[in-house]
Structure 1
Amino acid sequence: MGFLPITKEECEARGWSQPDFVLITGDGYIDHPSFGTAIISRLLENRGYKVAVLAQPDWNSKKDFMRFGRPRLGFLVNAGNVDSMVNHYSVFKHKRRTDAYSPGGEAGKRPNRAVIVYSNRAREAYKDVPIIIGGLEASLRRLGHYDYWDDKVRRSVLLDAKADILVYGMGERAVVEIAEALDSGIEAKDIGWIRGTCVKAREIYMDEDTVLLPSFESIVASKKAYAESFALQYKNNDFITAKRLVEQYAEGLYVVQNPPQPPLETLELDDVYGLPYEGTYHPSYEEAGGIPAIKEVEFSIISSRGCFGGCAFCALTYHQGRQVRGRSKESIVKEGRRLAALPGFKGYIHDVGGPTANFRGPACKKQLTRGGCTHKDCLYPAPCSQLEVDHKEYLEILRALRSIEGVKKVFIRSGVRFDYVMADKSDEFLRELCKYHVSGTLKVAPEHISDRVLSYMHKPNKRVFEEFSSKYKKINEQLGLKQYLIPYLISSHPGSTLKDAVELAEFLSDNGFVPDQVQDFYPTPGTLATCMYYTELDPLTMERVYVAKTMEEKKMQRALIHFNKPENRELVRAALVKTGREDLFGKLLRGSGRTQNPYKKEPPLRNQKEKTRSSGNRGGQPLKKSNKRRS
């Protein structure tokens, strides 16, 4: 069928005098189901609507927003696969030099706070055209939220964008319902009932299914009120149990969050991922060298959505929800065969997974009728007694993919939840994982090893990771394979003190782990940990939480994880002195690449400022896959 039109001429070539929708996005146009723009545009096309894609428009004037003329039904606006501020800045607020979602990897192709800027330009172009905002940036900023880059509480993006409707979560159902309502002649201001949306209101009706949140003014004035508001939102995020939430603003305006949409079921997911995607970026980007982000997903398969892992630093609970749903084996294998037939396929399927690769369905049967528990997690502090642990279906899918002609190897890169693996009474999955789906190293995400810090992260305790490491080593020895674990870790997470960071460094040294990816905690909207970072309270218990906020300590905590790097030597030394752990000089500084006596104070590096800065540039780097997470 070809790509959707990105120019007026391409619209005319299709015989369109006017598109029904113009979809504005901060990413370059990639027609692949790892990108929300592709899914929403293809889904609307499937329903008979004409959709033109306005990718990375010039936001300096309204001119580019008039490229296709006046859309018949409305503008659909997203910032791209990543929040535009995360896309632009590292955790240390340094400007990123590249953008994986832009042609040639060139940075600067989208504005800061892209949803707001794009929406305001679209409103300037056509004042009376409905504007519907969605995607990750809008979803996580749907109500009053702490903004790390401004270091203040900002109001709902729906208000700043001057949009009519905000779609949150996975928006397929909501967008189609909005399109049908607009097409029937209902004005956007009157479309206030659709699940998975936020709307503005001048009057509200309070009933038993409505919760009035603390007002915006109160969450700005009081961190305790902010934490209380977040806790109410956190507990009203399941489509079965959630109530309507209302946030009041001083000017007599309310933002109303309707309950979430139910997750797409298996057949619906099969339909969505079976739409006629081109599977790559628009050919107009070839001259610039293409769009780098496609490399991560071109030969990968999304097999599921949602996550019941409940990590405090992850926004998936707030965006995709806790109820996991998976595609059918038939649909996944069909896609595997399609990938194997592509000209550029080298025999390797890079990933088969979702937010967490080895989650395939609801955590328990109760979730299907009662919703997710609001008072406890499925896996933290230990697997729930009702949790159904079963890797059989996932194993069947992997086996079927391995048997496809032309497939040499099937990798699992989107994250395996190791505590879920350990809860499985059978070692069958772990054995096949080691034998067929690992190539030398398996990346896992313990995130930390201090049990106190892990409790704030809502992750399993240190013992579970140690038991998994031991079992992984034993199985590989039985298989005659030399394969290793590489841990993903987070520094400066709320609750982590400098002493906790030293404990982590000592553990890494004692066990010979060399971390591959270290991320300094990045306070992004919508996460439990970000609420802790801002308020220094655990919103679920209202207990005080220690937060490392000075740049000095954050850099020390990060350096301790990479204690073996020469450029981190002075930061590690300073951290050990500050915590009274000079006894670790020999252990942690001996392998830092220098031969000098580690007990002897050395002169500062000539360019210490630049060394320190470079050591932190990777913190918070945007993932290059829409559904990838740290598990």
Structure 2
Amino acid sequence: MNGFLPISKADMAERGIAQLDFVLITGDAYVDHPSFAHAIISRYLVAHGYSVGIIAQPSWKTADDFKRLGRPRLGFLISAGNMDSMVNLYSVTKHRRAKDLYSPGGKTGKRPARSTIIYTKKIREAYGDVPVIIGGIEASLRRFAHYDYWDDVVKPSILAESGADLLVYGMGERPIIEIAEALDGGLAVRDITYIEGTVYFTPTLERVYEYKKLPAFREVRADKKTYAKAFMTEMHERGQALVQEHKDGFVVQNIPARALSQKELDFVYAMPFMRTAHPMYEKPIPALEEVKFSITATRGCIGACAFCALYYHQGKDVAWRSIGSIVGEAEEMTKDAEFKGYIHDVGGPTANFYGVKCTNPKGRCTKRRCLTPEKCRFLKENHAEYIRLLRKVRTVNGVKKVFIRSGIRYDYALLNQSGDFIRELAAHHVSGQLKLAPEHVSADVLKLMGKPGIEKYQRFCQKFNAASQRVKKKQYVLPYFMSSHPGCTLTDAVRLAEFIRDTGFMPEQAQDFYPTPGTLATCMYYTGLDPETGRKVYIPRSAEEKAMQRALIQYKNPKNRGIVKKALLKAERDDLIGQGKKKLIRG
């Protein structure tokens, strides 16, 4: 008997299970590793005494695959996977992707578009009124009426559209156990309306108390200013329930679930994961390869970048595991036959937020960013704890090198007055290149992004280069830049190209802004407004301008010469065409 959870009736029989408590359906391949949400939720339920079976990437042409494990005693759990299914399937240009990194061999076609909705409807077809709970990134970010980039329309809450009974948003361990206990105690799923971190649908508000009412779905769909105001309320309101009227009733969001304590978080990552893909797959799962020997140290992010959905999904309360827990996981890794001595990452949404603290006696606020435009006076820098963690992990017997690849917030790193963190980083945790994301150089664009000014990036680079020279290492900062973000004009794009010219670095790839659900920048893209100020924002919408902005980042690529020239002429910057070091292209 292998240590994976049941995927077939034969597995159930082998374990003596006549009927499972829950069946979890996921759009990803079944990987029993803590970097995959379906693995954490299923293991967490099992650790609390419930039996769980996995149906990974079922065929959705009929309902047959959804009957594979029978009707569960308590309910079905649905996740589209570690990514929104539309982002997984389509590029920013709305073309079908050639690979699905969460499927065996990277093969596409293993999941439907809008997986959460399709899976829910197939379960209804198979079993009628069985309880259905949806969660994961797709459900979480679409819990209210939301702009959908692919259909270019405001869609209703995914809870209302799918017909599921409950939606879990954010990190789901605490809510899913409370839901399981309620169902196990005989409570009807329609009466589970009190659990933090959940959303439910109700025909009337007779039993809903102390709530704030959002503009109705029909209102946010009809008026962009109303949409922007509603989104800001969704972003910032954490103290009371939020209600949004839809057809035939109301979507009700309870307040967010409390973050897990350090002890609880340690428990999650100590569960008996197999740390690999199920043996039924003949080909590897590409997404596992990068994270198999990575360690999640934190959850939550105080960065609140406008183009990132982490704030909307997890919030900015940063939780971190104990050093002992992380060292223990590193020790377990060294026992894996495939482990070569290299830990690819010890981090989270932002690696160096490990140990960060808010000293506000009223608790962490939701109205402003912690780091921009300047550091909040209540934010306490604490790199010492992260340094201590890294030193412990790299001394584990069998570990040759510990990388940090999940992102460094360089403005926060600069708050480390002693400079110990940057020196430690350069000496021990980089091999050749350090990837950073300044994203842009224009002050106006960076302000809308919620990113620090470019001068802080330059200051960090100077300190990192000096630290690298001190330990006699040739190491470089590899910056990532974004094109076509709301607020970015062609003039701003040219300014970025000049910065790239002056630094002598040519990016191998450029990231085009992708309007995904749940981000502040997507709200800007749809409404043409900065929802924080109500002011109009320039939006680069045409395919031609997007191509121009992207090409300017890689102006040295001979393939881009024609479109770069067109962009420079349109921006009235023909002074950058011709001979000489300061020119971007030849005339």
- Into which bin does the TM-score normalised by the smaller protein fall? over 0.9
What is the aligned partner in structure 2 of residue 290 from structure 1? 284
Q: Give, in whole Å, the separation in 2 of the partners of 1:526 and 1:587.
A: 46
Deviation at 1:371, TM superposition (A): 3.4
Judged with a 3 Å threshold, the aligned counterparts in structure 2 of structure 1 residues 588 and 437 are, in CA distance, closer, same or farther, namely: farther
Q: Kindly indicate whether structure 1 or structure 2 has the higher relative contact order, using CA contacts under 8 Å at least 6 residues apart.
A: 1
8 Å CA contact retained: 2:355, 2:382: no
Q: Give, in whole Å, the separation in 2 of the partners of 1:209 and 1:355.
A: 33
Among 253, 272, 279, the residue aligned to 1:276? 272
What is the aligned partner in structure 2 of residue 267 from structure 1? 263
Partner-residue secondary structure (3-state), 2:32: coil
What is the aligned partner in structure 2 of residue 629 from structure 1? none
Q: Normalised by the size of structure 1, how large is the TM-score? A: 0.91
Partner-residue secondary structure (3-state), 2:286: coil
User: What residue identity is the alignment partner of 2:240?
Assistant: K
Deviation at 1:591, TM superposition (A): 9.2
What is the aligned partner in structure 1 of residue 44 from structure 2? 43
Within 5 Å, which residues of 2 pair with 1:107-126? 107-126=108-127
User: What residue identity is the alignment partner of 2:59?
Assistant: D
What is the aligned partner in structure 2 of residue 88 from structure 1? 89
Unaligned runs of 5+ in 2: none
Within 5 Å, which residues of 2 pair with 1:603-622? none
1:221 matches 2:218: no
Within 5 Å, which residues of 2 pair with 1:5-154? 5-154=6-155
1:500 matches 2:492: yes
Q: Give, in whole Å, the separation in 2 of the partners of 1:43 and 1:208.
A: 31
Among 236, 246, 265, the residue aligned to 2:243? 246
1:428 matches 2:429: no
Q: Provide, for residues 290-346 of structure 1, a one-character-per-residue CA deviation record: whole Å limited to 9, x for no partner.
A: 211110111100000000011000000011110001000000000011111211111
Q: Give, in whole Å, the separation in 1 of the partners of 2:209 and 2:225.
A: 25
What is the aligned partner in structure 1 of residue 329 from structure 2? 335
Q: Give, in whole Å, the separation in 2 of the partners of 1:235 and 1:586.
A: 50
Deviation at 1:362, TM superposition (A): 4.8
Q: Give, in whole Å, the separation in 2 of the partners of 1:133 and 1:206.
A: 23
Judged with a 3 Å threshold, the aligned counterparts in structure 2 of structure 1 residues 132 and 208 are, in CA distance, closer, same or farther, namely: closer
Deviation at 1:517, TM superposition (A): 4.2
What is the aligned partner in structure 1 of residue 199 from structure 2? 198
User: What residue identity is the alignment partner of 1:346?
Assistant: K
Q: Provide, for residues 377-410 of structure 1, a one-character-per-residue CA deviation record: whole Å limited to 9, x for no partner.
A: 1001011122101111111111111111111110
Q: Give, in whole Å, the separation in 2 of the partners of 1:468 and 1:136.
A: 33
Q: Give, in whole Å, the separation in 2 of the partners of 1:324 and 1:10.
A: 38
Within 5 Å, which residues of 2 pair with 1:520-535? 520-535=512-527
Q: Provide, for residues 90-138 of structure 1, a one-character-per-residue CA deviation record: whole Å limited to 9, x for no partner.
A: 0001100110100111001000000000000011110121000000000
What is the aligned partner in structure 2 of residue 618 from structure 1? none
User: What residue identity is the alignment partner of 1:76?
Assistant: L
Deviation at 1:589, TM superposition (A): 9.8
Judged with a 3 Å threshold, the aligned counterparts in structure 2 of structure 1 residues 587 and 109 are, in CA distance, closer, same or farther, namely: farther
Unaligned runs of 5+ in 1: 600-631
What is the aligned partner in structure 1 of residue 586 from structure 2? 598
User: What residue identity is the alignment partner of 2:81?
Assistant: G
What is the aligned partner in structure 1 of residue 349 from structure 2? 355
Q: Give, in whole Å, the separation in 2 of the partners of 1:589 and 1:168.
A: 52
User: What residue identity is the alignment partner of 1:340?
Assistant: T
Among 315, 318, 322, the residue aligned to 1:321? 315
8 Å CA contact retained: 2:243, 2:253: yes
Q: Give, in whole Å, the separation in 2 of the partners of 1:587 and 1:54.
A: 61
Q: Provide, for residues 63-93 of structure 1, a one-character-per-residue CA deviation record: whole Å limited to 9, x for no partner.
A: 1111111111000000000000000000001
Among 557, 560, 572, the residue aligned to 2:549? 557
1:302 matches 2:296: yes
User: What residue identity is the alignment partner of 1:533?
Assistant: Y
Judged with a 3 Å threshold, the aligned counterparts in structure 2 of structure 1 residues 206 and 73 are, in CA distance, closer, same or farther, namely: closer
Among 256, 276, 286, the residue aligned to 2:252? 256
Partner-residue secondary structure (3-state), 1:434: helix
Aligned length: 586
1:544 matches 2:532: no
Q: Give, in whole Å, the separation in 1 of the partners of 2:580 and 2:121.
A: 53
User: What residue identity is the alignment partner of 2:490?
Assistant: L
Q: Give, in whole Å, the separation in 2 of the partners of 1:220 and 1:431.
A: 51
Q: Provide, for residues 206-261 of structure 1, a one-character-per-residue CA deviation record: whole Å limited to 9, x for no partner.
A: 98831100010000100000001001111114xxxx2100001243x000000000
Q: Give, in whole Å, the separation in 1 of the partners of 2:46 and 2:569.
A: 62
User: What residue identity is the alignment partner of 2:512?
Assistant: D
Q: Give, in whole Å, the separation in 1 of the partners of 2:78 and 2:578.
A: 55
Q: Give, in whole Å, the separation in 2 of the partners of 1:215 and 1:207.
A: 16
User: What residue identity is the alignment partner of 1:115?
Assistant: T
Q: Give, in whole Å, the separation in 2 of the partners of 1:517 and 1:255.
A: 41
8 Å CA contact retained: 1:486, 1:516: no
Q: Provide, for residues 176-202 of structure 1, a one-character-per-residue CA deviation record: whole Å limited to 9, x for no partner.
A: 000000000000001000000000012
1:578 matches 2:562: no
1:346 matches 2:362: no
8 Å CA contact retained: 1:564, 1:588: no
Q: Give, in whole Å, the separation in 1 of the partners of 2:113 and 2:452.
A: 36
Q: Give, in whole Å, the separation in 2 of the partners of 1:135 and 1:499.
A: 39
8 Å CA contact retained: 2:26, 2:55: yes
What is the aligned partner in structure 1 of residue 160 from structure 2? 159
Q: Provide, for residues 389-443 of structure 1, a one-character-per-residue CA deviation record: whole Å limited to 9, x for no partner.
A: 1111111111111111111110000001000011111100100100000101100
Q: Provide, for residues 561-605 of structure 1, a one-character-per-residue CA deviation record: whole Å limited to 9, x for no partner.
A: 11111111111111101011111124799998xxxx821xxxxxx
What is the aligned partner in structure 2 of residue 626 from structure 1? none
Partner-residue secondary structure (3-state), 1:72: coil
What is the aligned partner in structure 2 of residue 399 from structure 1? 391
Partner-residue secondary structure (3-state), 1:93: coil
Q: Give, in whole Å, the separation in 2 of the partners of 1:536 and 1:363.
A: 35
Partner-residue secondary structure (3-state), 2:46: helix
Deviation at 1:474, TM superposition (A): 1.8
Q: Give, in whole Å, the separation in 2 of the partners of 1:407 and 1:38.
A: 25
Judged with a 3 Å threshold, the aligned counterparts in structure 2 of structure 1 residues 362 and 432 are, in CA distance, closer, same or farther, namely: closer
8 Å CA contact retained: 2:358, 2:364: no
1:170 matches 2:194: no
Identity of aligned residues (%): 54
CA RMSD after TM alignment: 1.5
Partner-residue secondary structure (3-state), 2:289: helix
8 Å CA contact retained: 1:347, 1:408: yes
User: What residue identity is the alignment partner of 1:380?
Assistant: T
Q: Provide, for residues 508-543 of structure 1, a one-character-per-residue CA deviation record: whole Å limited to 9, x for no partner.
A: 110112224421000000000000000011111111
Partner-residue secondary structure (3-state), 1:178: helix
